[in-house]
Each structure stands twice: as structure tokens, then as C-alpha cells.
Structure 1
Amino acid sequence: MGYCGIINNLRVLPSSRARWKLFLICTMLCFCGYFIYYKFGDRLTAFPVRRASQGVTSDNHISRGLLHEKNDVDYAGEELEEVDSDDGHGEDLPDEQLRRRFPQAIIIGVKKGGTGALRDFLRLHPDVVAAGGEPHFFDRNYEKGLDWYRNLMPKSTENQMTIEKSPSYFINSRVPARIHAMSNLTKLILLVRDPVTRVISDYAHVLEKRVNVSSFETMAFKNMSAVVNSEWTGIRISLYAKHMVNWIQYFPLKRLLVVNGDRLIREPAAELSRVQDFLGLRKLITKKNFVFDTEKGFYCTTKAEEDYKIPHCLGKGKGRAHPVVRPELIQQLKKFYKPFNRMFYKMVGQDFGWD
């Protein structure tokens, strides 16, 4: 019936004094309920509420079946980075000032998008502590519980931000709800590269880790034809719009920063400026922290202090040479990804110029 219905029916009570008392009680209950919802509404929600997708528009060139399939990309057998919870920023502080905290920011993907580089760059900031390796809690270890997850995080002070990165989070449809259930205030960072470049980089990674690998053309195209093999994991990861649909149901774009992974390689300081703004950090990582290594072909990091002059470069597996792919195959892949790219641009409000 609601409060208004109760008030309208007060005439059945035997006296005006009783009606007035009940009116006051109902009014107080209304105000109390509104105050509790306004003040603590976010905290009272134990499980995430699914919202309608924001910014999703139709595209006649896109296969609706492929875009909305719920089966996740299979990472079975993939070698994972071992988690190291010792970040080192707080090693000189007394133990009573340090404790392990859930991450306030998570780098959710994508694989071969530059997630490791971004995490290492952010480690230069004194207000950031980052878990080493890849915890993969929300997609592979969720049954171990939140206490297990928190114990993987490095110790930090109350003024420091804890971050972690697990690139396969982005492509798993169950992860957004799980992160939202932990905290809907979590900040998410997604790195993306040109989908075709990312696929080729993914293949180069496979070549290095495995033996007897089929040719790129065999894996990327069905029966050596012009039909792209969308069942191959490498191809599916680059369908950014397909995966993004799952995230915008739980997190508004103000809590999800999309970083241009190609620009991070060319202009790391510029992209780090955006990331620091998004995370609410002081802008302490600048051009002074990057040195271009002509031999490796990418930027290495260095601390700005006078007594620290030796640059630190990413591991030998980073910046590996890509296999040569015939131009006509690249054009076929670009044509395949074009409608998905356009939908992704609309979702995030940013045109990356991949077409």
C-alpha cells in the first residue's frame, strides 16, 4: 500500500489525536528510510545489480551471434606469471604502519596490450604498490576467497594505492560481477592495441613458448581461406566490443580508463599522465623517468634522482620481433575487425584510428 495509502486511510481510526500520532510516525519512517538509503545505499548492496548496457549501438555488419556469445576465451595451459607480493616501497617503514589491502585499481587487460609495462611504470610512483606477477583471482582462483586474494597484495600504508594486473580478466564474462561484489568503487584500467597488431604479437608469444606451432595463416584463417577463424583465442581476444559489453553493465565509464597501448610504447609519459589523473595520483612520473633504448627499440625507465642513473628495461620477452605476415592477410583481418572496432569506439567514446 505504501505510506501514502496508510495516511489516506487514517480516517478509520477512532480519534483525531490517534490519526495525528500515526501521521507523525509514518513521516519519521519516511525520512529515516530516505536518509539510510542516501547515506549507505552502495554498501547495503551485497551483490551487483545488472544494468542495461550503456552506449551499445547496433551495426548491420556485425555478427550478433559472435558479439553476444557468452562462452569465454580459453586460456587452458597458458603459462602464468608467479605472484610476488613484495613491492619494496614500504620496506623502511615499521610494521605497524603497513598492512595488506584489497587493490583500489586493477589492470584488467588485454593480453599483449602492455599491461606489464604499465604496472612497472606505475611502480615508479611512491604512492603506488603493485602485486608482482598475475593473481588471476577473479577468473581462476575465486573459490579460494577474498582473504587469500588480499594476502597476495603487497603491504602498504593508508596513503598508498594498491594495484594488480591480470590481463585475462577483460575477456571473462564472470569477472565484472565478481569485482563489483568486492567493491563497486574499484578503478579499472584497460590497455588496448590495434587488434591486428595484438593478434600478431600474441602469435609471436606462442612461437616463443611452444614447439611445433602452425603457421599464422593456418591459425588465423579457416582452411587457408579468406574466412577469419574467430574460434582461435588470438582472434577472439581482439574483439574488444564483445568483451566490453560485460563490463559496462557493472561499471560506469568514469571508473574504467581505456589506455592506448600503441601510444604507451611511443609516448609513455603522455599516457602515464592520463593514468595518474585517473587514479588521483600526484604527477610524479614524467618524461624524466623514460630513456629510449635504441637497441631494444622501446623506452626503459629510470628514477629521476641524481644517484640513480642506470635505466631499467622490461624483460627479454618484451619487444620481441613479430613474424612477417603477408599484407593481404593483414588487410583481411582489418576488414574483419572494422565493425567491431567502430562499436568499441562508440562504447568508450574514443576513436583509436585502427581502421
Structure 2
Amino acid sequence: MPLPLGFMIIGVQKGGTTALSHFLAQHPDIGMATTKEVHLFDAPDFDPAWSVAEINERYQPYFLGMEQRLILGEATPIYIAWQEIIPEIKRYNPQLKVIVLLRDPVERALSQYAMEFVRNNEARPLWLALLLEGARLLRDKSRAPLGARRCHSYRTRGEYVEQLEHLRRYFPDSQILVIDNSELIGQHDQTLVRVYDFLGVPVVDLPASERVFSGDYDRARYPMCRWLLGCWYRFANRRLKSLLSDMGYSPNWPWLR
């Protein structure tokens, strides 16, 4: 079995990771975990003392029957959001290739809020949830399944520049691929070819573009919160564009111009 894993899709939540996982799973040389989000490294019982062999033993049930695939991977988008996970995946496989899908952080935050509200993990109105976010995260730093770090990190998860800066401290740019959700949607074939090339697998019949999963929320709602979030991210996005340029990208994404 070709363990350890050769790649991970590590973020971002609500950024299109389900769709990318679905498309990659159709490639004959790529083995995607049978559970889309394994949540191994962020599990409440994860032990940093686990050896690589012990981690592989926990991964093995998700890749049964994939022994002949050239490369195995999984997608757990919370990995990039929790800084303590990055050195652990580096220790697990220093040659790991990591894929990061980004999305307009304002839309990402609203989509997460809508998801948590529908799941009954959030009862407060959006404006109050955003106002309380810092206090919630400060008060609850646990890995609990319904803890604040997982469910109430609406604004924080959109601070991409800090996440990518931290990622680059452990992985060289040659092992990092950054994609925007708009590219996966609007340039489907070209984007998949980029991913195949990054993973070192041949280009085969490309899966057709389709809407794999999209949480529904009213994009006309919350005009004031939307404006305030836009103001919050404005300067961070400028830093993000500079960082991406330093990594060799020329992003022309609608939200990062």
C-alpha cells in the first residue's frame, strides 16, 4: 500500500474541497479517502507521540482496495485553520504535497454561518456571532466536536495570509498548490490539469464540471455584516495578494483585484 499519504487538501472550509475531492477520486491513479474528511490530525484524541506507522495504521481503513494507485490523499479543510496541525503533517510526511482552495472570505464566512445555523450549532444572529467570535475562541480552545474553534470561527478562518505564511514555514512553495474556488468553477478543465501536474499523475479523461455540493444561503441578506467583513479583510487581502505573488501566482480572482 502506497502509504504514507502523498497529498492532502487542507483548506479552506466552504471553499470547494468536496468538489475537488469528487473530481480527483475519478482519476485511476489517485486514491481519495473513502470518507471525505478523515479528521485524523485534528481529532480530540490525536497524540503527537504517534509514529508514522501508527498514523498509517489509522489511515489504512480509508484506502482499502487502492493498493495500486500512484498516490493517496485526503481532504480535511480544518487542517490549515489550526496552526498546530501543520508541523504534525510535516512530521508525518516531509514530502507531502498540500492543496489549498481559497474563496472570497466574506462569502466563506456567510456560508459557514448558514451551515452552522441550519445544524443548530449556532443560535445567535450573524452580527452577534461575529461580535462574540473572539471571546468564544479565547474561552474555548479545545478540539471538541462542537467547540468554538470548529463551529464559530467565521471571520478567523478567512484570514488566509496568516495561514499561508504559517504553512510556508514548514513546506516549500514547490509542495504547495493554491487554487481559488472561482478557478475550479470557471476554468474547470485547466484547473484539474494543474492539479494532475502538481500531483505527478497523467492527464486522463477529465470529469465533467458539475455542482457537487453547495450550501444554500441568501446572498442578498446581511448587507451591513457583508460590508463590515469586507472592510475587515481589505488590508489582509492586500497582503495575501503580495504573498501569492511571491509564491509565483498572478491571481485575478474577483475578490482579490
CA gap 1:138/1:320 in 2 versus in 1, 3 angstroms:
closer
| Other-structure match for 1:274 | 194
Q: Distance in 1 between matches of 2:222 and 2:56?
A: 49
| Other-structure match for 1:115 | 17
Matched, 1:139 2:42: yes
- Length-normalised TM-score, structure 1: 0.59
* TM-fit CA distance, 1:125: 0.5
| Other-structure match for 1:251 | 171
Q: Distance in 1 between matches of 2:192 and 2:62?
A: 22
| Other-structure match for 1:329 | 225
* TM-fit CA distance, 1:130: 0.7
**Any conservation in 2 of the 1:139–1:174 contact (CA below 8 Å)?**
no
Counterpart AA for 2:255: W
Q: Distance in 2 between matches of 1:212 and 1:339?
A: 28
- Length-normalised TM-score, structure 2: 0.79
What pairs up with 1:181-196 in 2 under 5 angstroms?
181-196=91-106
- With CA pairs under 8 Å and 6+ residues apart, which has the higher RCO, 1 or 2? 2
Q: Distance in 2 between matches of 1:209 and 1:273?
A: 35
Long gaps (5+) in structure 2: 138-151
Q: Distance in 1 between matches of 2:32 and 2:174?
A: 22
What pairs up with 1:107-256 in 2 under 5 angstroms?
107-133=9-35, 134-140=37-43, 141-143=45-47, 145-154=54-63, 155-210=65-120, 213-221=123-131, 232-256=152-176
Counterpart AA for 2:46: Y
Count the aligned residue pairs: 228
**Any conservation in 2 of the 1:102–1:153 contact (CA below 8 Å)?**
no
Name the SS for the 1:137 alignment partner.
Answer: coil
Counterpart AA for 1:142: F
Structure with larger Rg: 1
Q: Distance in 1 between matches of 2:90 and 2:216?
A: 38
Counterpart AA for 1:200: L
Counterpart AA for 1:139: D
* TM-fit CA distance, 1:100: 5.7
Q: Distance in 2 between matches of 1:128 and 1:211?
A: 35
* TM-fit CA distance, 1:320: 2.8
CA gap 1:112/1:211 in 2 versus in 1, 3 angstroms:
closer
Name the SS for the 2:72 alignment partner.
Answer: strand
1:319 aligns with one of 208, 214, 217: 214
**Any conservation in 1 of the 2:116–2:122 contact (CA below 8 Å)?**
no
**Any conservation in 2 of the 1:135–1:152 contact (CA below 8 Å)?**
no
CA gap 1:212/1:201 in 2 versus in 1, 3 angstroms:
closer
Deviations 1:49-99 (A, max 9, x none): xxxxxxxxxxxxxxxxxxxxxxxxxxxxxxxxxxxxxxxxxxxxxxxxxx3
